[in-house]
Amino acid sequence: MRINIERVGHDAAQLGEGPVWDPAAQVLWWVDIYAGRLHRHDPTGGDASWEVGEDLGCAAPRSAGGVVIATRTGFHIFDPVTGEKRAIADPEAEQPDTRFNDGAVDPRGRFWAGTMKDRGDPGPVGAFWQLDPDGSTHRGPAGYSISNGLAFSPDGTRIYFSDTARETIWQAEYDPATGEHGRPQPFFTTRNLAGAPDGAAVDAGGCYWTAALGGWQLLRITPEGKLDRAIALPVEKPTKPAFGGTDLKTLYVTCMGEGMVDDLAEQPLAGTLLAVDGHGAQGLPQPAFAG
């Protein structure tokens, strides 16, 4: 099996994150967190980007058009056509030192996103929040430092998430009909491996792919919580993978860039959007936010 890795698109980021494939538009959305920029990569050409005016943690396609975004000030709807940003809810308005980080949409169109404190000592103050299509929010698992790794099993009955600071991934039973979850249980730890778990994606076989931040690699973990394989990357700090392309066989990977890595000369692709092919896995169409 021959792995091929190349840069795609023309944009580069300081803190590239949150890639998500839009199956309806056949484009990839991703963000540059501290630049507050939303990027759209079209494999056929015509990449574009927008400024949202604040730290931007993640985004997801919206079934009614545009995208839902999670920022330092909560959840918003963003319209790329007009540039309008409309606030929905700010569940942590009383915690000005936290911001939203990683996110994912569940099978019924609910948008999940996690928070973290990025000023001073992070501390276990982060939580995972569920945004329902009607605009209501519900607090999920809490007490994490760097919330990350949100993903769902192919049948939607399991939710995954991680805490990069604790180098641990958890799983919990999930009811896609109600959005309720069970008690989180440890799923996998990277403490004996290079890198810490960051953003993630689940393939059609139910395996969980996580970016190993600081480890120069992607890790594929079986549904049983066993390391299946590792793919070496040309960047030290990958942040999140996402399956995309017409056949959902390309793994797009975001990463940290200038100002976030020590030596750009050693990794000239740091901060760019990477496309990884030849790994033999295939993704699943990701649902859009239903609100």
pLDDT for res 187:
99
| Residue 54 annotated in ligand binding | no
Active site members = 198
| Residue 148 annotated in ligand binding | yes
pTM of the model: 0.97
Going from the N-terminus, what domains does the chain have, and what CATH number goes with each?
4-277 (2.120.10.30)
pLDDT for res 263:
83
Residues near 141 by beta carbon (within 8 Å), at least 6 away in sequence: 127, 128, 161, 170, 172, 181, 184
pLDDT for res 229:
97
pLDDT for res 260:
86
**Percent of the chain residues past pLDDT 90, beyond the cut:** 93
> Helix, strand, or coil here: 41?
strand
| Residue 102 annotated in ligand binding | no
- Beta strand pairing status for 98-105 and 111-117? antiparallel
| Residue 7 annotated in ligand binding | no
**pLDDT under 70: residue ranges of the chain:** none
Distance between CA atoms of 130 and 149, rounded to whole angstroms? 15
pLDDT for res 236:
98
| CA torsion through residues 228, 193, 273, 170, sign | positive
| Residue 99 annotated in ligand binding | yes
